[in-house]
């Protein structure tokens, strides 16, 4: 529909001068030990690894690599704290500690936001406006439940599970730590948490904050490392409950390891969400929702709207408007307040995304990427979409976990629903239409844990979050998330 003469020009002209968030107010130590039993301690084997800034490829710090012996120490500390202090404490007192963590997070929000962007590559706008405030909101929300568990589950007798072993991913490092720690503590459990190896810093800053908050030693333990450290936590016999967020492949391995045992578990895994745009939708706002759905956090979002289904009568218009909008997305320095899309989290992830771009083209898909300059150093990917792909394409079937959208069209409601559900995943979905009845019909039919209507990627601590099918087991957030950390007796 666009011709040469009625195409809009976005490049050149008036440009925004750099507006970087300052980093002189943050403190990152050159080396971090393991946070066990209330103190930072050296790892037994004395091994450390680098955590780097993906926007510059420079080292930010060195963090301890926890072996099985360190994990064992952490679990024992958590057990001791559980039996002697935390499970016996008056629930209202537990709540006070969690409220204190929430307030201190708010007070130090600026520092946490800057470190989150430095370590993970996400734009400061997101870490400042979404990650850190939401993390604090989760602590506030669950703090309120700590002394009201009997009211949350009337007629039942809620009891904590014991020691929770928690393994979290690199896409929302602090937020995922909050999702895991807040309900566990409110329910009376103690915690051993492992942040992802590429983004350990805000979890370690949270450990400092927890120490400053005066939490009894051992209630929260944070150990750093890679997959082996995670396995050691999951398989440790002293752990009563496993909570994992990450890839479906690792989730399956965890489920195998736990099969036949008595540990309870929740798994938050991958996704390939359908974002469905009907012809009667508010098109401009739908385009904005498509952008938020797939380009939020560089597409490193398990519930990203990575499959777009557009009704055919508006398909050309939507694709044209989407490509125009992509020209106005600013890719670059995560610390710049005007950056929309930051750095890809790691070299490994960038290679994976690039592979998928090749795969999509080899399969016959037509690739479109935003123009615009990229910084020379660091890991970057221009926002991209494929048209001309189908349900049998790998870029439609597999989770890319990057800023890459697969676009298909549909004619009827039933066709959209069938294609949307035709995936091993079922974490989230989106529906765009001006008709309320269509929203309800679609949300009832979609096999996905979260469905957004006329919006996308909205999160709130009161709302349960989790997947169908290979997207996971159990729910986090809301009362459901509390339930997952309790044994409900009669």
Partner 1 sequence: MGTNANRADAAVGFPDLSRVPPVDEVGVNERVARFQSRSIKKASKVEALKCILSMIDLTTLEGQDTPGKVRQLCQKAIHLHDAMPGLPHVAAVCVYPNMVAVAKEALRGTDINIASVATAFPSGMSSLDLKLDDTRMAVEAGASEIDMVISRGAFLAGEYRYVFDEIVAVKEACGDAHLKVILETGELRTLDRVRRASELAMHAGADFIKTSTGKIQPAATMQVTLVMLQAIRDFFASTGRMVGMKPAGGISNAKLAIHYLVMLKETLGNAWMTPEWFRFGASSLANDVLMQLEKQATGVYQSADYFSKD
Hey, which residues are catalytic here? 268, 302
Q: Which is nearer to partner 1, 9 or 362 (CB)?
A: 9
Which span (4-12, 84-92, 233-241, 370-378) binds partner 1, by CB under 8 A?
Answer: 4-12
What is the nearest approach in angstroms of partner 1 to the Cβ of residue 22? 12
Residues facing residue 194 across a β-bridge:
167
What is the nearest approach in angstroms of partner 1 to the Cβ of residue 6? 5
What is the nearest approach in angstroms of partner 1 to the Cβ of residue 16? 5
Q: CA 342 to CA 329: how far, in whole Å? A: 10
What is the nearest approach in angstroms of partner 1 to the Cβ of residue 453? 10
Coil, strand, or helix at residue 486? Answer: strand
Q: Is the dihedral of CA 248, 261, 161, 469 positive or negative?
A: positive
Find the binder of partner 1 among 195, 271, 289, 305 (CB under 8 A).
Answer: 289
Q: CA 152 to CA 159: how far, in whole Å? A: 12
Q: Does 6 bind partner 1 (CB under 8 A)?
A: yes
Residues 6 or more apart whose CB falls under 8 angstroms from that of 249 comprise: none
Residues facing residue 472 across a β-bridge:
268
Q: Which is nearer to partner 1, 113 or 482 (CB)?
A: 113
CA angle in degrees (0–180, nearest 5) for 333-334-335: 90
- Binding pattern to partner 1, positions 441-460, x when CB under 8 A? -------------xx-----
- Residues 115, 205: contact at Cβ < 8 Å? yes
Q: Does 371 bind partner 1 (CB under 8 A)?
A: no
Q: Which two tokens stand for residue 375?
A: 């910084």
Q: CA 292 to CA 436: how far, in whole Å? A: 22
Q: Which is nearer to partner 1, 124 or 405 (CB)?
A: 124
Q: Which is nearer to partner 1, 349 or 433 (CB)?
A: 433
Q: Which is nearer to partner 1, 14 or 151 (CB)?
A: 14
What is the nearest approach in angstroms of partner 1 to the Cβ of residue 455? 7
- Residues 90, 100: contact at Cβ < 8 Å? no
3-class DSSP string for 15-53: CCCCCECCCCCCCCCCEECEEECCEEECCCCCCEEEEEE
Q: Does 288 bind partner 1 (CB under 8 A)?
A: yes
Q: Does 437 bind partner 1 (CB under 8 A)?
A: no
Q: Does 22 bind partner 1 (CB under 8 A)?
A: no
Binding site for partner 1 (CB under 8 A): 1-3, 5-6, 8-10, 12-19, 125, 129, 280-286, 288-289, 320, 328, 337-338, 434, 454-455
């Amino acid at each position: 529909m666009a011709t040469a003469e009625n195409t809009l020009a976005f490049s050149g002209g008036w440009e925004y001068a750099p507006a970087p968030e300052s980093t002189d107010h943050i403190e990152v130590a050159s080396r971090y030990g393991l946070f066990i039993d209330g103190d930072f301690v050296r790892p037994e084997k004395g091994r450390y690894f680098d955590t780097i800034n993906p926007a510059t490829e420079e080292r930010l710090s060195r963090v301890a690599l926890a072996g099985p012996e360190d994990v064992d120490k952490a679990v024992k500390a958590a057990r001791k704290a559980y039996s002697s202090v935390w499970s016996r404490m008056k629930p209202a007192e537990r709540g006070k500690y969690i409220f204190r963590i929430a307030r201190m997070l708010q007070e130090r929000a600026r520092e946490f936001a800057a470190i989150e962007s430095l370590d993970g590559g996400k734009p400061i706008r997101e870490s400042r406006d979404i990650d850190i405030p939401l993390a604090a909101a989760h602590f506030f929300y669950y703090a309120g439940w700590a002394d009201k568990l009997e009211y949350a589950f009337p007629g039942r007798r809620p009891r904590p599970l014991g020691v929770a072993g928690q393994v979290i991913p690199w896409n929302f490092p602090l937020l995922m730590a909050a999702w895991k720690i807040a309900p566990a503590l409110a329910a009376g459990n103690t915690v051993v948490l492992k942040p992802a190896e590429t983004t350990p810093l805000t979890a370690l800053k949270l450990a400092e904050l927890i120490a400053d908050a005066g939490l009894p030693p051992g209630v929260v333990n944070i150990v750093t490392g890679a997959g082996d450290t995670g396995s050691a936590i999951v398989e440790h016999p002293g752990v009563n409950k496993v909570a994992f967020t990450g890839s479906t492949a690792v989730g399956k391995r965890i489920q195998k390891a736990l099969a036949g045992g008595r540990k309870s578990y929740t798994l938050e895994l991958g996704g390939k969400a359908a974002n469905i745009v009907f012809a009667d939708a508010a098109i401009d706002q739908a385009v904005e929702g498509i952008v938020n759905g797939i380009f939020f956090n560089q597409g490193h979002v398990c519930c990203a709207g990575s499959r777009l289904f557009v009704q055919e009568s508006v398909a050309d218009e939507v694709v044209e408007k989407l490509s125009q909008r992509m020209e106005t997305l600013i890719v670059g320095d995560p610390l710049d307040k005007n950056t929309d899309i930051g750095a890809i989290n790691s070299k490994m992830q960038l290679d994976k995304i690039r592979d998928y771009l090749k795969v999509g083209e080899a399969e016959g898909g037509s690739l479109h990427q935003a123009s615009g300059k990229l910084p020379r150093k660091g890991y970057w990917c221009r926002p991209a979409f494929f048209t001309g792909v189908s349900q049998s394409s790998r870029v439609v079937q597999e989770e890319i976990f990057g800023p890459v959208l697969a676009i298909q069209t549909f004619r009827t409601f039933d066709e959209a629903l069938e294609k949307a559900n035709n995936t091993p995943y079922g974490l989230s979905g989106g529906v765009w239409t001006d008709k309320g009845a269509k929203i309800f019909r679609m949300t009832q039919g979609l096999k996905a844990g979260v469905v957004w209507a006329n919006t996308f990627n909205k999160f709130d601590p009161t709302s349960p979050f989790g997947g169908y099918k290979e997207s996971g087991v159990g729910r986090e957030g809301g009362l459901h998330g509390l339930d997952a950390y309790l044994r409900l007796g009669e």
